[in-house]
Amino acid sequence: MSVRIVVSGATGWVGKALVVAIAQAPDLVLAGAVSRSAAGRDAGEAAGIGAIGVPVSASLEEALAAPSDVVIDYTRPDIVKANTLAALAAGRHVVVGTSGLGAADYEEIDAAARAASLGVLAAGNFSITATLMIKFALMAAPYVADVEIIDYAKGAKPDTPSGTARELAERLAEIRRPSTAMPVSDLGGVRETRGGTIGAPNPVQVHSVRMPSFVLSCEALFGADNERLLIRHDSGPSAGPYVAGTLLAARKVSGFVGLRRGLDTVMEGLS
């Protein structure tokens, strides 16, 4: 049976690519598309592939009036949580590709998903190679105590750190050993230059660089006595790398209940 998908943020950078890919996939159906800027247009025309008979809705509520199975959200940090909770309340599984959510937000989403017996899969980055970067960093964390994260993005990115960096920091903090560096609270000078402290019980320092020429990059820098390990992922200007992972998530999200963080949790051989 085909998976019926609503794409929220259908005219965005990743959203357009998803509309095209879903329209071409034999096991997926585009059941709805949401974009206020393109409301009333055909979703295929808005994505540049010609009419496919799916109108663009002005709101997620409008799109949820038609039958569907999964909502994919690539919108904005300020509306993704509300969208996710609304989709769950309407009986849809959710794939969250929008960054900006914190640990408390995910706890609330997890509780709502479990109450509704639905699945939510959220990832800071749905690229397969970015997922491998996260996985390799998690593999290194139990062996090397000291790790910090640097993420890079264009100057106009509206949230900091990136979803990739936040997810990686929170997951590293759960398994890493305590840092050997001087605690930020004990430092003099300008403490903010040590970055943001994210995660528990052993938090990670995260530094965000925002300037022209970057798309999205993230690196985990591990340090030990007389040696360092750098694990880094760089994204190019195309949204293509995120499409395959997002659609894999859409195919898998109905197979569990509650929230899962990270594409690796549904990738065979990595989970």
Mean pLDDT, the chain cut into blocks of 10 residues (271 residues total): 96 96 97 97 96 97 97 96 98 95 93 98 94 96 97 93 93 96 94 96 97 95 98 92 95 98 84 51
Domains and CATH numbers, the chain: 3-122+238-266 (3.40.50.720), 128-235 (3.30.360.10)
Give residue 270's pLDDT: 57
Give residue 94's pLDDT: 98
- What are the distances in angstroms from CA 207 to CA 11, 22, 253? 30, 36, 31
Give residue 208's pLDDT: 98
Give residue 127's pLDDT: 94
> Rounded distance, CA 257 to CA 247, Å?
18
Give residue 89's pLDDT: 98
